[in-house]
Structure 1
Amino acid sequence: MSHPFRRLLLPLVLLAAAGSAQAGIFDDTEARKMITDLQRQVTDLQQQNQALADRLGKLENRVDNFKIANLVSQLDSQNDALAKLRGQLEVLEYNVEQTQKRQKDLYVDLDSRLRAVEPDGGGGGGTVPAATVPADKPAATADKAPAAGEQAAYDAAFGLYKSGNYVGAAAGFKEFMRLFPDGKLASNAQYWTGMSLTAQRDYKGAIATQQKLLASWPDSNKAPDALFNIAANQLEQGDKKAARKTLEDVVAKYPLTPAADKAKHLLGSLK
């Protein structure tokens, strides 16, 4: 190669080398810039992720608070419903109590009226009107007078009952039954023994006493009232079904008696 050509080649080589060096510098700068951009993007993403995490935490708290508030609201609603049910129960219990009181007052009133029209004030040997006594069942002992001392013993016990001394009355009538088990007033004494037990709220004992009257003196003028008293005691025990059946028996067996009229009134209030 001639010397001139070498002189020309040298600048070209130098120029090419310079260009290569500039290209290398350019590539390093761009790479660093890209790295810087990526780092910035990573930082931005990290910040965004943190922001999202913070928002998510706040949302979770809000959801938890909402759930708690919702549970509290439901609890409050249930408490309100429970309070209303309790109120309704109290009203029902009051109504039942008032109904039972009215039934008892009706019974006492009707029984008082019955005693008022009986010849001896409810204690003597008055008989059921002839029209109410079955033809094949004469009024037992209606033509016999009480034995000596029988009326006095009976009146003493009945006086205790009228004064409100039901314990003393029950004891007095039981003593009367011991002294005069077959007396003319025996069925009446048995009846008022049961009534004295009713007044003491011994409903089971009263029912047993009246059942004994019905078994021992089925033709007694006190039989209708004894059966009615059984129904009244069954009501006091809360056995409405049995009481209704007993009241229906009173009406069916003794249709023309005051006891039947009382039974009809009481049946009407039980509907």
Structure 2
Amino acid sequence: MTHFKKSLIALALLAWSAHSQAGLFDDNVARQQVIDLTNKVQTLQQQNQMRIDQLEAGNKQILNLVRQIELQKDELAKLNGQNEVLQFNLNEAIQRQKDLYIDLDNRLRAIEQGKAEIKAGQQANEQGSFDAAVALVQAKKFKEASAALNKFATEFPKSDKLPAAQYWLGTSYAMSKDYKSATTAFKNVVENAPTDPKAADALLGLASVAAAMNDKKTSRNYLITIIEQYPQSDAAVRAKKALMAPN
């Protein structure tokens, strides 16, 4: 082998060795790049997975919140329904109370009106009975008058005309010469209705009855009582005249 050939062979071997070393270096770099890229991908995947997990957790919370809101809506709807029922029942109860009040008020008005009509009828009947009895006295039908006046006292015991009825009853008895009954009737007026306008006249009746029974002292005392207790009455004028009259 010539020297030239040896040199060519040596150069070729050197070039191949350099090329082999350069290829080996490029493979290492590429491998490292792949490793780095893989690591980055894994890191990104992990980050993405974390984000996905966070989103899923957030979605679960949102879903739970939505469920709670829906439940609250349902509860609110139920409460609204119950409130509507309660309001309806309350309105019904109020209306029933109003109807009952109106009905009761109408009934009370009817009762009061009936009472007023009855009272008016009683008053008319009372006045008619009184007038009829007094008319009998004035007609000198003393027996019938006494019966009518006693009936009046029985039928109308709370009448404001009762003192006058008792006075006329005493007068009727006195005119019938039933002095005992006359005294009782006149005393009923004096003792039970001393402020009635007929009280002074009843005392004058007692004085007349006592005089008719020849009890002059008692008669005089009644006359004096009239003057002292009822000085402005017509009976007092008549009492004074009676006292001044000769025995």
Q: TM-score when scaled to structure 1?
A: 0.45
Tell me which protein shows more helix as a share of its residues: 2
Higher Rg: 2
Name the structure, 1 or 2, with higher relative contact order (CA <8 Å, separation 6+): 1
